[in-house]
Chains A and B, each alone.
Chain A
Amino acid sequence: MNKKNLQFQRKVLPKSPTSIHGLDEITGGGLPNGRPTLVCGGAGCGKTLFAMEFLVRGATKYNEPGVFISFEETEKELTANVASLGFDLDSLVKRKKIWLENIRVERSEIEQSGEYDLEGLFIRIHHAIESINAKRVVLDTIEILFSGLPNPHILRAELQRLLGWMKKKGITTIITAERGEGSLTRQGLEEYVSDCVILLDHRVNDQSSIRRLRIVKYRGSTHGTNEYPFLIDEDGFSVLPVTSLGLNYFTSDERISTGIPRLDTMLSGKGYFRGSTVLVSGTAGTGKTSIAAQFVVTACKRKERVLYFTFEESPGQLIRNMCSIGINLDPWVKKGLLQFHATRPTLYGLETHLTTSIKLINQFEPSVVILDPINAFVMGENQTEVKTMLLRLVDFLKMKRCTAFFTSLTSAGENMEISDVYISSLIDTWLLLRDIEIGGERNRGLYVLKSRGMAHSNQIREFKLTNNGIELLDVYVGPEGVLTGSARLSQETKDEAEQLLRQQEIGRKQFGLERKREAMEAQIVLLQSEFEAEESEALKVIGIEKARNERFIQDKAKMAKSRKGDIYIKTVGTKKNK
């Protein structure tokens, strides 16, 4: 049903893909095919570039040749300006993919006498379209005509005729216009171009500039209505439609090690989920970066790629510092598995940070991305914006199945859970590092504040940075509370002594028992032998008595025989009877 609907929609309104990163997603496929689109915005907001990229991509990717009518820049200037973006206009022009035409109007040279029309412009555009069989046309700032030619009434009528004519020809057209006071364009061109209006904006917030794009209207099509940040860099235009992505990303059951065996155990034995978002927050010097570095090394050992955004340390400094705790990142950088990207958060606006990050992630395709630290972005009261940015980034990373690892610096004294609460909802696994001060000592404690989808440990572990990386130890929990550091050590030795004592006691008791058993067994043997002696004596006596008795009977029989009396017979008879 849904698919049918889509197909139906496409039939009604075919679209020309722009191939501008992100724009096709917002517009649901591109600009309206065969219709004019108005791109307006102030000076320097990228109108010309937008239009040029539309043409160049159309010519190179979709085999739709394009005509660029420039009212401001000459062909040479245009070619030079976009060469920096990697567009080779000269070659495209030679191959008849692009037609550049500069239309120059200078007010001072022109006098009007009587009625005129813009047939000349029509013919030139027509000629250009025919020459290369163009499907796309750009009129880069057609409003220049208003300052160049007299009689705006004629101009308006003529422009309307021009747009109607282009529409009839089925040419996808971009018209650029300067933004006017209180209206979208200075000359009210939006009245004529009713199919699609895109507004580009370039503003400065807190000394950093942000470029934004908004689709003001798009007749006959649904579109993203937000203001989307965009970026112009060496690859041209990219728009970030990240908020439109939704939450339907792939979820993985795969677990990946944290690089710290005991931390794995705390996270129900297996570590983080792949593609989850991990936050390590803590006060200064609690070892956030070290946990990150340990994670990096483990990921690299699995031959996964890691992109490390560092906002406070330079890569060199970071590598050196990690070496001191036995984590060597350098080989992985050389192997190309680990890439650092170090910028100051103040270098550019949040959107630009986001766009650059996303671009880098797209280029490098890492499976682990580290942002160290994220709160470097928070300056003044921009927490909501930071959250939005991170939300976009997290969504993007989830879509890419990247495991995101953020660190966050909380200032001492603050309630740590609260100070990071603005991003809490984005985080799947949240580790908290804190200082534990006991007995004139400051030690590090680590615990899992939350970890979605796993039975994680509720224990605080002592967190130690050793020469061989990170070690987690049990903290001493006893009647005296949680002990760490030397307090824990002394308590542990005390406990050990006590245990030894108890063991000795047990040993002694066991020994005594053994002795008793031996004594008892000896007695048993003695009694048995006594009994055996008595028994054999008794058996002997019985034997003698038996023999004597026999003898007596035999003697009696003999006597009776010798007397020859009937007693013998009788005895014999009794014997027989018996």
Chain B
Amino acid sequence: MPVSAGNSKLVYDALLDAGVEVVTALPETWLVHLVRLAEDDPGVTLIRLAKEEEGVGISTGAHLAGKRSALLMQNHGFLQSVNGIVSCAQLYKIPLLMLISDRGHLGERDPWQTEGGKVTRRVLDALGIVFDELGHPDAVASQVAKAMTLAQSSLSPVALLLTRDLMWEEPA
């Protein structure tokens, strides 16, 4: 599978460096390595979700109990979670770090991903969520650290888009 194991590990290590102890996830193709890394890590609690919005609630509870967390999901899972993000994370000032696989953007071959891809950035913008793209391996550690810093200082959701350039290695 041409999902980048090396870059997934970079992202995962950056999450650990940012103090993440609870990871919630709804697996999708681009997230397989990240989810497995969390699964194999005895120092991290991984919670696989039935639906992404649950992860917003779980991150809220973890934060209130003093633990840092990250929510891993596809952009369609983000779209699914909008009410939870607004009515739980934003209403209650929760530092929710979201790592969102950026499906349906440039280079996407799957027709079913493309409608969500068109609106992901605009929905993030409409919600007032600060976001950045993780595109270059060299910048991942710094970007994840800064995203967590902003989430914690602003007590707000912050999103990092896992781009195709970072996550996908085209077969030779």
Partners in one complex: no
B residues neighboring A (CB under 8 Å): none
